[in-house]
Amino acid sequence: MPQLSVHAPAAIVVDVDARAVLWGRDLHAPRHPASLAKLMTVMVALDQAPLDRQVTVPVEATQVEGDSTVMGLSPGEVVTVEDLMYGVFLRSGNDAAETLARVFTDRAHFVDLMNRKAAALGMVDSHFTNPTGLDDPAMNTSAYDMAVAAAAIVVRYSQVLPLSQAREAVMPQVVSHKAYDMHALNRLVGTYPGATGLKTGYTDEAGYCLVGSAQRGTRHLVAVVMGDDLSLTTDTVKLLDYGFSTHLD
């Protein structure tokens, strides 16, 4: 593999359609997932309900840590799964993720389903203990496993790609909930040609993380950087550019 000036200690770019790793660094090194864990939350929630399902926000889902990124949900609001997905992808809302983890089953069972999903996908480096990605010594993943999760969303849960690639989501006030105006944290969206999302993440232990997906023609690529610095978007662009410049036989 060529030397790419990527700052992240763990990184990967894969061709989703060919199921091929195009470039990687420390693919299986244990990493804290930060909010990249929400990719698992998204898949498990979609296994439970369609995007148009209405749910009521539980009190417990809004009692997140004070420094959490949030969608801004209030207890008792009635929103759709799609609304919560916007909150997860655009704002990385811990309150949105906690709501998804509590409205279809109990939270502990939901986390168990996250781990079962990871095992079914072949994510052998991963163990999840919460639906948000907040640091926990028992929760680990790898750049490779996050690429597997992202590829699964691109292929099997493509109904959320229009949400993950949105730059903004405006939800007007209605009887069941207040107004929301959310803007994407993912700087790939709207700037990188063909970008389809997917997810940003940051915690003190994880550093800056980003899963970026993009499509050009019939090619779908996923790039992951973990433990990065503020170069995370630039690094992801380098990986995607390299991937699209590589043509598999």
Alpha helices in the chain (DSSP H): 38-48, 81-91, 94-102, 107-120, 143-156, 161-164, 232-245
Chain centroid to Cα 115, Å, comes to 15
Question: Which pair of structure tokens corresponds to residue 16?
Answer: 């989703």
Q: Mark whether 35 is an active-site residue.
A: yes
Query: Which of the residues 5, 35, 126, 176 is marked catalytic?
Result: 35
Query: Which of the residues 5, 38, 176, 178 is marked catalytic?
Result: 38
Query: Which of the residues 5, 92, 231, 238 is marked catalytic?
Result: 92
Q: Mark whether 92 is an active-site residue.
A: yes
Max CA separation in the chain (angstroms): 56
Phi-psi region of 13 (alpha: psi -120 to 50; beta: other; left: phi over 0): beta
Chain centroid to Cα 200, Å, comes to 7
Give yes or no for a contact between 11 and 208, defined as CB atoms under 8 angstroms apart.
no
By annotation, the residues acting in catalysis are 35, 38, 92
